[in-house]
Every structure is written in structure tokens, then in C-alpha cells.
Structure 1
Amino acid sequence: QLRAQGPWHCIIHAAGLLHGPHGMPEKRLSQLNYAQMEATFRTNTFGPALVLAHFAPLLPKQGRGVLAVLSAKVGSIGDNRLGGWYSYRASKAALNMLVKTASIEVARTHPQAVLVALHPGTVNSVLSAPFNGAEIGRPAADAAGDMLRVLDGLPAEETGSFYAYSGDKLPW
């Protein structure tokens, strides 16, 4: 049904899981457990991967189209100085690799497509609540506006990149 209504010029996948019924983010290796890892990867990696697979073909073949997924700065391997949060970090790093890899393939048929991973910053939300999100986070509307401004400014040459809401390019 969506294909018939397209092409789609802006698709954003905004799901994420940091904590839930299986526990809080792991601070140490000894806290790793399969159920938590599986739930985190299902939400943060496998779901967005299927969105990439099914929705990237709906972008315009001629002209610019954007497909963005929400990642996290803690998914940057190059920026990891604190450790911890094993499942969340690894799931977002894997998501970043999927975006990069998909961008290479999609560029062959959609040369003006921009596939990008976005870090929204700390947002006042259920995800950040246990980590003082209400105090250190910002309103979701502000984060969304900032990310849309970043997306508006990205040329096709930036496909497969990782950006923060501020417009800063993040290291893998």
C-alpha cells in the first residue's frame, strides 16, 4: 500500500530500547544476559534493519530522499571512553554498520538517497527517565526539530554517515 502512495521523501525510524523488563543497561560483563541482549538487539538493530530493507526501495529513484534511523552516540566505537551499557552500545554500533552497508547498496539504484544514523541527544523521555533524563534532557519537539534541520542539510554525498542533532558528524 505504501509503495503505491510513494515515492517517500523522508522516512524516519525512531524506536529504541535501553532498559525494560529484562533489566537496566549492563555496567559489567558479569551482568550480561541473553534475554536482555536479545530484546535490545530486536528493537535497536533487527527492527530498523527490516525498515531499511522494506522502506529504502520506496525512496525516489530520481531526486533526493532521506531514510534516517535513530542511533546513539554511545554506539560510536571511536567515542567509547566509559564502557558499560554493553547491549545498548553494541546494538547501536550494529545499527550504524547496517546503515553504512545499506547506503552503499541503495546508492546504486537511488543515487540521491541519503541513509543516515542520527543521535538525538538526551531527550526527556521514558528511555532517559532512569538516568535523570527529566533534568538533563530536552523536550522531544526540540530534538525532532534539530534532527530535521540536520536531515534537510545533508547532501547525497553524506549517505551512510552518523550525525548528532547538532549537525556534528560522529565517529564510527
Structure 2
Amino acid sequence: MKKSLLAVAVTGLFAVSGAQAATDWGVHDTLEVAIPTVASGLFSEIFEFSLTSVSSLSTSASSIEFSPFLGITDGIVYLYKEMGASDTFVSAYGFSESFFTANSLAAGDYYYKVTGMATGSGGGVFSLVSTTAPIAVVPEADTYLMMLAGLGMIGLMAKRRMS
């Protein structure tokens, strides 16, 4: 009887917390973590964030399996860059992959779209971990050439003033 009551309570908890809108992380911190619950059946969760500079982004997603109460199959994480009327697909990977890295992402607004099928009687639970690291922008060769030309001109002007 206690197991049945506990199962009903846990199922009710997950059903209530599973109805969520898009999660907005704001400016992506070095580490972002989400552990949402979803109701049984097909699901789609959105996690929005912004990058303030050119960055490398690594993510990992996995489901928490507790059969027959919790389970997720066919979990996929999509990464999109928001571009106004039509968003740009960046990449996708499945829950079965250990992690995914996207390099040299431009500053701007992005979002993860996580989809799958919650198969447990209480739905499903998954974790999404996202880390970011800024990438130092290396100047192009013509930038160095312009800088050297400018320094040369300053040196020439200083030499002419001294003579």
C-alpha cells in the first residue's frame, strides 16, 4: 500500500511540474543545468540563452530511468540560432551520445529544443548540462599589416620632427 501511495504521489508531482513554458537562461553562464520533468507521451522543451562573444559550447543530455515510473526514449537535443522570422539550425545529437561541442558560435541568441517520448507512467526526467567558454578572436594578417604601417608612419613623422 505504501509503495502504491508513494508512486501516486511521485506521479502527481511530476505531472504538475511537467507543464512548463520555455526556460530562459538569459546570458549563458559558464555552467547551466536543467533537470525538467515531462508528462507521458511526446514532449518538446525549449531552453533559451544568449552568448555575448564568440564561444565554444559543450552540452550533454541524459534521461533518468526508473522503470516503470520514469523513462524517456528517442531523446534528441537540437541547437538553433535565433534569426528573427526563421531560425538557423546549428546541430543536433541524441541522448545516447556522451556530449556534443559546437565551436566558434557567434554572439547572439540561441536555444536548445529537447524532444523525445516519455514512456514512464509518471512521465520522464532528463538532465541538460551546457557549458561555454569564450574563444579569443585572432586578428587577421591584414590587421597586423595595417598596424605595422601605422607604426612606421608614426616613426617616420617622429624622425622628421627630430631632424
TM normalised by structure 2 equals 0.32
Higher helix share: 1
The higher-RCO structure (CA 8 Å, 6+ apart) is: 2
TM normalised by structure 1 equals 0.30
* Structure with greater Cα Rg: 2
